[in-house]
Amino acid sequence: MKCQETLAITEHRIINGDLNEHGTVYGGRLLELLDGTTSISAAHFAHQLTVTAAVDQFNFIAPLKLHDSFKITSYVSGAGKRSIEVFAKIIGNQDTFGKKILAATAFLTFVTPQLVAFPTLIPVSQEEQTVCNAYQQRHQLRQQQLLANKELTASIVLN
């Protein structure tokens, strides 16, 4: 399956309710919209129920402000036995008709309830190849982080 077959795109105009005290889009609002868009990419790939397991990486690059608009574009960038990694980019459009900016990038992991025979992922564009070629490295890092997180959560006291 080509990465483009897992493509999901959403667009949003920024209004006052999206802003934080700095006059830029509140990060939590971006994460909410990001989760919705990327879940569609995961569903296109898995053809079954998927659940958000983690926001592995979210990089704020440039702020988005009132009257800007932005587009979230996501596609599957790798898969394991039950996990699906989805890459997303948030492209801002300053003052709606102005200059385009890269506002953020992210990697999220979704999981399926049971093992699935996922299709082979085929990156075509230069961007897709760059993103997908680093999947194994990101996957290994995630595995290390999961082990460290298990140790941490085992030591947390519930009061």
Least Cα distance to 104 among 36, 58, 52 occurs for 58
pLDDT-derived band at 95 (thresholds 50, 70, 90) equals confident
12-29 mean pLDDT: 94
Mean pLDDT score, 111-123: 93
Q: What is the 3-state secondary structure (H, E, C) of the chain?
A: CEHHHHCEEEEEECCHHHECCCCEECHHHHHHHHHHHHHHHHHHHHCCCCEEEEEEEEEECCCCECCCEEEEEEEEEEECCCEEEEEEEEEEECCCCCCEEEEEEEEEEEECCCCCCCCCCECCCHHHHHHHHCHHHHHHHHHHHHHHHHHHHHCCCCC
**Which amino acid appears at position 116 of this protein?**
V
Place 1 in a pLDDT band, splitting at 50, 70 and 90.
Answer: very high
pLDDT for the residue numbered 143: 92
> Structure pTM?
0.92
Q: How far apart are CA 40 and CA 50, in angstroms?
A: 9
